[in-house]
A and B are shown apart, each in its own frame.
Chain A
């Protein structure tokens, strides 16, 4: 069984540009989460999808961040326009059950210069 995959693994963009991160969850997992780890800080929750619906997006920092989950399969997280403070590692996770372990992807390291 394939794990959670994320693309790209690294992205370096200039301030003001747009970046789109992609996450492919484990097949059959209805729950998909996005997290972010900024340098030196803890991993922070961004949002939670159940199938294609946003269940909780309370962690999204501002309206420059837009997440979508097409047809309840893969998800994208777009940052537009990117700012310096958006640099960090963005993790995606999926789970089958509402309560229980989450399977994390390897993360996308975003650097905004």
Chain B
């Protein structure tokens, strides 16, 4: 069966460190992958998009990698801040038509 896995356990890190979140998938060949941030009581907010033919994408303190051989994406936040504390979701577009399959998200806690 098709599956998208994100670490269900919260990730606790110290302010200033780099946070690395993982998104693994099976039985998919996504056209592209997106990362979203979600705060309690709010809808997801887009962060980054990476296509299947791209290895890495950066935006300010954020970096995403996409390894279609390993079927894995890594999401990095460098110099993390308490304000980065949220749930981070990966979403795959399988059919290249903006129809997303979401992971269940990983909660990040950045402690001051």
Contact = CB atoms under 8 A, between A and B. Distances in A.
Contacts, number: 57
Contact of A55 (B97, B101, B104): B97
Interface in A65-108: 91, 93, 95, 98-107
A48 B99 contact: yes
A45 interface: yes
Interface residues of B, number: 24
Interface residues of A, number: 25
B46 A103 contact: yes
Nearest to B8: A40
Contacts of B104: 41-42
Interface of B: 4, 31-32, 34, 36, 41-46, 49, 89, 93, 96-105
Interface of A: 4, 31, 33, 35, 41-45, 48, 55-56, 91, 93, 95, 98-107
